[in-house]
Amino acid sequence: MNPGPGEVWLADLGLAAKTRPVVIVSRWDPDSHRALILYVPLTTQSRPSSYEVPIPRLPFLDRESFANVQGMGSIPIIRLERQIGRIPEQTMANIRKALVYALDLGPGPGNHKNP
């Protein structure tokens, strides 16, 4: 199994003995020997901010959803249960932008401001 960016999987995140949908954000690496995968969880609760990306209504999601980049994490690949779909490329581009913002990875040195 080699999950790719933009794929939506049900994953065991160790929360209340149930699976949750996550968007894979790890880079595509066809020859990967990695044991962990990076993900952003999907949520149905909106807290409008630069850390959330709306997910368009998709057939494999039963409600309006949002990618919460503040919840980014890593899990062992074996905790991914099954792929349920893929998000549109434009939505994935928006998630990447939100990650750049959240992780302060903008261009050039001194790109952040301290309060």
In 3D, which of 93, 97, 103, 104 has the Cα closest to residue 5?
93
On whether the CB atoms of residues 51 and 71 are closer than 8 A, the answer is no
* Beta-ladder partners of 81: none
Residue 71 confidence (pLDDT) above 60? yes
Mean pLDDT computed over 2-31 = 88
Other beta carbons less than 10 A from residue 8's beta carbon: 23
Side chain identity, residue 99: L
* Beta-ladder partners of 86: 7
Mean pLDDT computed over 41-58 = 92
**Helix (H, G, I), strand (E, B), or coil: what is residue 69?**
helix
Residue 22 confidence (pLDDT) above 60? yes
Q: What is the mean pLDDT of the chain?
A: 88
Half-sphere exposure of 20 (CA within 13 A, CB side): 22
Name the band, by pLDDT with cuts 50, 70 and 90, for residue 37.
very high
φ, ψ of residue 89 in degrees (nearest 5)? -60, -40
Domain boundaries, the chain: 7-102
What's the pLDDT score for residue 106?
Answer: 75
CATH of domain 7-102: 2.30.30.110
Side chain identity, residue 90: Q
Name the band, by pLDDT with cuts 50, 70 and 90, for residue 91.
very high
- Whole-structure pTM value: 0.86
* Beta-ladder partners of 12: 19
